[in-house]
Structure formats: structure tokens, C-alpha cells
Structure 1
């Protein structure tokens, strides 16, 4: 289900290779967490003062520390971009917003986990997402915290996808999903097929 992941790439920012670069079409501006300033060769004293307040998706506002212009290289595309530097504990190292996306005429796709760019010759160039971040996040550590509890016996013959229902298409609800190996008749989903 990689299409449900955020679109993270690796980019070269001010000559430094940076991972966890989030391309976010929902963000109007590009952001740089304050902790990344030194990692791209900049210092707080080099920031241009600003009174911008950045509002996140939940409505919380943060006052920006300042503005900085950085050279961003993604694939063969290289562009000077203005970043709003924020005091953030974000999971990304750099956020490229619509200002960057439109500025380089990029077409980001979370479905394909890639970004389509255009070379100087006008040819398409595809930059693949960095999926290593998601692989690391899928590992879980298991620990028994209460040693008096017995381990669960899991019936491995159960199919976790036994279900009946509908799926959503551009025309609306469609086609009843049915798995014939179900030992019972499920209820709860109604649709015409």
C-alpha cells in the first residue's frame, strides 16, 4: 500500500544530500525545520527576518524564525527556493510545497511514489520516492510486559481478508466483493451489483 505513504525523496540542498524531503501539494510554502539549518550550511544569523505565522492542518500557528534561500536539486532540476524556517519537531528534514512544485513544473504522485520533472531539453524525468524510510517504520518490537500472561495461540488458517462489501469507484459504490471460503454470511454492507 505504498500509495498511502507520504512522498519522500532524497534531494541535494545547498550541496548537501538530504533524505526525508517531503513533497507536499497541500502546503503553499516550503519549510525548513530550524534543526536543519546547520546541515545545509546556514546559521540563524543569516536568516531574513519575517513576521510570517505558519498554520498547520490542525489550526495551530507557529511564528517563523526567518527566511532563507537555498539551492534545491531534485534529479536534474536545480532551483533557488525560499524556505520559511520554523521551530519544528517535524518528521521531515525539508518540506517542498506548491511554490517549489509549480516553480519546477513538477508532477508529484503519491500513487506512483515518484515525481515527474522536465529536463532542460523538455524530456520527462522521473524521480522515484525514497521508500527506505517506510520500510524502517514498518518494523515493530515485541516485548512481553506481563510475564504472567500466556502467549496467544493464533489460528494461521484464518484469512484476514474474508469480507463482503463494496468498493468505491469514480462512478460511486460498485461490485460486491465476495470470498467463497467464508464459513458464514457477513452482514453490514449493502450495495447493488
Structure 2
């Protein structure tokens, strides 16, 4: 998920375990983090990993959290700014410059709605 309101890039447990990360791979992260529901989130640590979209790769510092999400990661303002991305939530689309011009990545509004229904069902706001 790409979230313009998020001041950090977040990785959730499914992705964390899915790519084989262990606790010892994480660096300490002492800053408090508030979740979508206004509650403080349990932090596991932080890790810097490459994120490649349409051939453009940037190094992203993910804050790893131990909380449920229908998403595997949330790319927030740090990633958006590194990519020089422009987002449209209405069109579920993101555009950014690549070597060959402008890349456009578009996803399904139906899938976005399904994730929102799951999040609301779990009490995530």
C-alpha cells in the first residue's frame, strides 16, 4: 500500500517472515509509532532494503511492526519522495520518472476496497 499520510515505510509480519528475515537482521528502533487506529504499535526494529518498481530501485528504511495488516508493507512519504512519485488515490495509480520516461503503476480499486474491508473488520483505521 502507498500511503501519503504515513511518515515512515512499514513492513508487516507476513513480508518480514516471507523474505526470511530474523530478529538479528534488524537494527534497534526506539521512536514510538502510532498505528492507524491511534494506538501505539509494537516495533520489532528497522532494516534497510532495496525496493524496485518498474526498474527504478531505491533503498528504503522499513520499520518492522508486530501488528496485523491486510498489506505486506506500507510505502509512505519517505519512499514517495525518494521515487519522486505522484499519486492518485482516485485512480489507484502512481507515476514516477524512469530512464525511459514516465512509469505508471495502476492497481485495482476492487482489490483496494477488499483490503479496506479486511482492515475495518480487524478494527484498523
2:104 to 118, 123, 126: 126
Give how far 1:90 is off: 1.0
Q: Secondary structure at the match of 1:55?
A: coil
C-alpha displacement at 1:132, in angstroms? Answer: 5.9
Deviations 1:11-67 (A, max 9, x none): xxxxxxxxxxx0000001000013321212322220001112211243211131100
Cα distance, 1:76–1:91 mapped onto 2, change above 3 Å = same
CA contact (8 A) 1:29 1:98 kept: yes
What whole-Å deviation, never above 9, does each CA across 1:120-139 have from its counterpart, x for those lacking one?
24x211111145625867xx
Q: Choose the corresponding residue for 1:104, options 83, 88, 91.
A: 83
* Structure 2 residue ranges without an equivalent (≥5): 116-125
Aligned length: 115
The alignment status of 1:69 with 2:53, answered yes or no, reads no
Superposition RMSD in Å = 1.9
| Matches of 2:24 and 2:108, distance apart in 1 | 32
Give the structure, 1 or 2, with the largest relative contact order (CA under 8 Å, sep 6 or more). 2
- The 8 Å contact of residues 115 and 129 in structure 1, kept in 2 or not, is answered as no
Could you report, residue by residue, the CA deviation over 1:73-131 in whole angstroms, capped at 9, with x for unpaired residues?
1122211101000001111111000000001101111112110011124x211111145
Select the residue among 20, 27, 31 that pairs with 1:52.
Answer: 31
Structure 1 residues 135 and 112: CA distance shift in structure 2, 3 A: closer
TM-score, normalising length: structure 2: 0.81
Q: Which of the pair has more CA radius of gyration?
A: 1
Higher mean Cα deviation, 79-88 or 127-136? 127-136
Structure 1 runs, 4 residues or longer, greater than 6 Å off? none
Length-normalised TM-score, structure 1: 0.54
